[in-house]
Amino acid sequence: MITEKHVALNIATDSPQDVISQVGQLMVNNGLVEPSYIEGMLHIYEEFGPYWVLTHGLAMPHARPEDGAIESGFVIMTLEQPLNFGHEEHDPVSIVIGMSATDQNKHIENIQQLTQVLNNKQKINMIMQAKEYPEVIEIMNR
């Protein structure tokens, strides 16, 4: 269940690394991950590139459970300005969903929960245009 504390809207940023750090800090603040998880996400981005830009406008950075996952869950952040992550097909990114999972089964459960959003362009567009927390929470919890 997503609540207001899991959402950050219209975040100013200038690089994918900054976005990853900010979404990671939101995860730390919500008790989902240890600070080391942020380094894990940055390392994965540097090593494997933008594979987690899953659909047009949406990225879902994450790291391995052993990088510091405390609880399984996710946070959502919208960007003030769309940002290129380096994905040929799905850039620029406007929505970032930071995900943590304590094991592979939880990872799959998180993906299944998010599939309702990932496969619905209308929901993605509504989140991109949201101006207030309740709008995002309502869309995500539908």
Tell me which of 6, 43, 56, 62 is the catalytic residue.
62
Tokens of 129: 């245009």
Spatial CB neighbours of 54, under 8 Å, sequence gap ≥ 6: 60, 90, 118
CB 32, CB 67: distance < 8 Å: no
Can you tell me the distance from the alpha carbon of 64 to that of 62, in angstroms, rounded to the nearest whole number? 7
Determine whether 3 is exposed, middle or buried from the number of CB atoms within 10 Å of its CB (0-12, 13-18, 19+): exposed
Give yes or no: 87 in active site. no
Phi, psi of 65 (to 5 degrees): -55, -40
Catalytic positions are: 62
